[in-house]
């Protein structure tokens, strides 16, 4: 039976990554495992933390370089409380992104990028495929109540995961690997069943039991990165039966 790794190597594929509070650690570990296997997506997309990781990689930041940035990350690097519609102004986060990204023009990225954001005025998902990459990532990561909205071309935006948790609103049809973070969004007061998207030629990778990460538990993020990388390596060698591969990160950890 064909393994997940063999399926990905068989033909070009896209990569989409879901939102998930501070899940950029796990996304980075997952992407590191793909690249170590020589698997390279031809286009990328994402919401929130997924947009940050796919956008950074498309701009030229390797998974190893991103892991180094995250290993050094402290709350003070993005914590800038300010009066307004949210706790944090987001200026420090903007500076962090611009210092990390080698380019900030989405059109100059090495592969096409689609970043989901929530258009506050229209109350719907918008997909950014051109413009300033740092602004797009910051808008997609702007968790309501935590960050001020991000204004782009005269419109305010919040976290792309509000309506497009999967981050696939702007993804064309075709072969797609979707990395799903199994965690409750911070604005969701109750636990709801999380539905993994399904469509032809889409395979979902779900990593279960990742450590919970938040601004006060960034050390758990570094552990999540390593667990996600190791679990993804195991997933790539698993037979692909259906359109879903689920791996418990604590198994064999």
Token output for 6: 């063999």
Per residue in 131-141, pLDDT (tens digit) is 999 999 999 99
State the Cα–Cα distance between residues 137 and 150, nearest whole angstrom: 10
Q: What are phi and psi of 98, to 5 degrees?
A: -70, -30
Strand ranges (DSSP E) for 129-250?
A: 150-152, 155-158, 176-181, 202-208, 244-248
Over residues 51-62, the mean pLDDT reads: 98
Phi, psi of 201 (to 5 degrees): 70, 20
Query: What's the whole-model pTM score?
Result: 0.94
- pLDDT tens across 191-208, in order? 555 678 889 999 999 999
Higher pLDDT among residues 190 and 129, named by residue:
129
Q: How confident is the model at residue 187 (pLDDT cuts 50, 70, 90)?
A: very low
Stretch (H or E) spanning 137: helix 133-140
Q: Please give the positions annotated as active site.
A: 48, 159
Each residue of 234-250: pLDDT tens digit? 999 999 988 999 999 98
């Amino acid at each position: 039976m064909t393994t997940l790794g063999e399926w990905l190597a068989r033909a070009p594929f896209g990569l989409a990554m879901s939102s998930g509070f501070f899940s950029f650690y796990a996304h980075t570990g997952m992407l590191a495992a793909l690249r170590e296997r020589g698997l390279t997506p031809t286009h990328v997309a994402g919401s929130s933390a997924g947009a940050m990781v796919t956008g950074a990689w498309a701009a030229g930041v390797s998974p190893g370089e991103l892991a180094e940035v995250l290993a050094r990350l402290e709350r003070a690097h993005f914590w800038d409380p300010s009066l307004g519609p949210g706790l944090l102004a987001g200026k420090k986060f903007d500076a962090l992104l611009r210092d990390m990204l080698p380019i900030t023009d989405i059109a100059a990225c090495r592969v096409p990028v689609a970043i989901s954001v929530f258009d506050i005025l229209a109350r719907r998902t918008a997909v950014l495929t051109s413009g300033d990459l740092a602004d797009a990532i910051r808008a997609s990561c702007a968790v309501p109540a935590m960050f001020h909205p991000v204004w782009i071309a005269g419109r305010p935006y919040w976290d792309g995961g509000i309506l497009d948790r999967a981050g696939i609103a702007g993804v064309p049809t075709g072969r797609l690997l979707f990395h799903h973070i199994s965690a409750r969004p911070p604005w969701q007061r109750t636990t709801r069943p999380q539905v993994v998207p399904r469509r032809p030629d889409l395979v979902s990778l779900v990593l279960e039991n990742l450590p919970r990460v938040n601004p006060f538990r960034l050390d758990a993020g570094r552990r999540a990165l390593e667990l996600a990388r190791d679990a993804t390596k195991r997933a790539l060698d698993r037979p692909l039966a259906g359109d879903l591969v689920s791996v418990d990160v604590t198994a064999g950890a």
